[in-house]
């Protein structure tokens, strides 16, 4: 029996992961099956289970693979940025590049929407989303810290809070993308993301504004204040 090399194992695993990503993009987490991945990859059921125990592991591997490739490409693109403004703009543009994909390969937007939808009930989806979030936040913190060091962002910024808030904003724009459907125009959403960056950069020479603390005031739309019990 011929010896299986590490290079061959890597190639097969990569083939499976690529097939899984396509299947999850088209069918969603619940709609996809391991049989679908078998057909898409052109491999046997045995080959799939040699590398992965099931659909949960396939989802994690598929998303980890795209994240790893994405971070490498982002680092390459960021090297062309001379200022913090340029590097932040490059990062935002790349976020949309990854979300949209290209003609021959779907982007990550559809997979993310499906993962968010099932995260509460699917530990694998939640784990993937948390891991992805931490990667995005790490990149954001790095860019903000560089901006502070170069005097292009205010020193009073809470680096982690801003990085987490901004990645949440970007993901919120993916939800808007889904809402817009056929009327979606990347330029519109990217402009909105860039406007927030402009505000951050404009604050470099400004003192930190005082914001009042507003405590929670529970409100139930089904029982607004002033309604009478039993009415």
Quick check: helix, strand or coil at residue 101?
Answer: strand
Residue 125 CB partners (closer than 8 Å, separation 6+): 29, 59, 115, 116, 118, 119
Q: What are the φ/ψ torsions at residue 101 (nearest 5 degrees)?
A: 70, -155
Return d(Cα 79, Cα 59) in angstroms, integer.
31
Return d(Cα 148, Cα 146) in angstroms, integer.
5
Q: What are the φ/ψ torsions at residue 102 (nearest 5 degrees)?
A: -145, 175
Give per-residue pLDDT as tens, 182-205.
Answer: 999 999 999 999 999 999 999 988
Quick check: helix, strand or coil at residue 105?
Answer: strand
Q: How far is CA 190 from the centre of its chain?
A: 15
Give per-residue pLDDT as tens, 146-166.
Answer: 999 999 999 999 999 999 999
Return d(Cα 48, Cα 162) in angstroms, integer.
41
What burial class does residue 119 get, using C-beta atoms within 10 Å of its C-beta: 0-12 exposed, 13-18 middle, 19+ buried?
middle
Return d(Cα 231, Cα 229) in angstroms, integer.
6
Higher pLDDT, 108 or 4: 108
Quick check: helix, strand or coil at residue 216?
Answer: coil
Of the chain, the percentage scoring pLDDT greater than 90 comes to 49
Q: Which CATH superfamily is domain 64-205 in?
A: Tetracycline Repressor, domain 2 (1.10.357.10)
Decide: pTM greater than 0.75.
Answer: yes
Confidence of residue 4 (pLDDT cuts 50, 70, 90): low
Give per-residue pLDDT as tens, 79-88.
Answer: 999 999 999 9
Helix (H), strand (E) at residue 106: strand 105-106
């Amino acid at each position: 029996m011929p010896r299986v090399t590490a290079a061959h194992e890597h190639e097969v695993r990569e083939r499976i992961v690529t097939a899984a990503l396509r299947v999850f993009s088209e069918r969603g987490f619940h709609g996809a099956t391991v049989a679908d991945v078998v057909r898409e990859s052109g491999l046997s059921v045995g080959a799939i289970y040699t590398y992965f125990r099931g659909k949960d592991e396939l989802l994690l591997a598929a998303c980890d693979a795209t994240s790893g490739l994405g971070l490498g490409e982002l680092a390459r693109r960021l090297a062309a940025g001379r200022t913090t403004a340029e590097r932040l703009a490059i990062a935002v543009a790349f976020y949309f590049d990854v979300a949209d994909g290209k003609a021959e390969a779907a982007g990550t937007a559809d997979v993310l929407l499906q993962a968010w939808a099932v995260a509460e009930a699917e530990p694998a989806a939640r784990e993937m989303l948390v891991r992805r979030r931490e990667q995005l936040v790490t990149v954001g913190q790095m860019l903000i810290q560089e901006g502070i060091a170069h005097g292009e962002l205010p020193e009073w910024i809470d680096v982690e809070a801003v990085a987490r808030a901004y990645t949440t904003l970007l993901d919120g724009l993916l939800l808007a993308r889904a809402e817009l459907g056929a009327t979606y125009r990347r330029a519109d959403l990217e402009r909105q993301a860039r406007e927030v960056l402009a505000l951050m950069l404009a604050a470099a020479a400004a003192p930190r504004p005082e914001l009042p603390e507003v405590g929670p005031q529970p409100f139930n739309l089904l029982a607004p204040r002033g309604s009478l019990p039993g009415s």
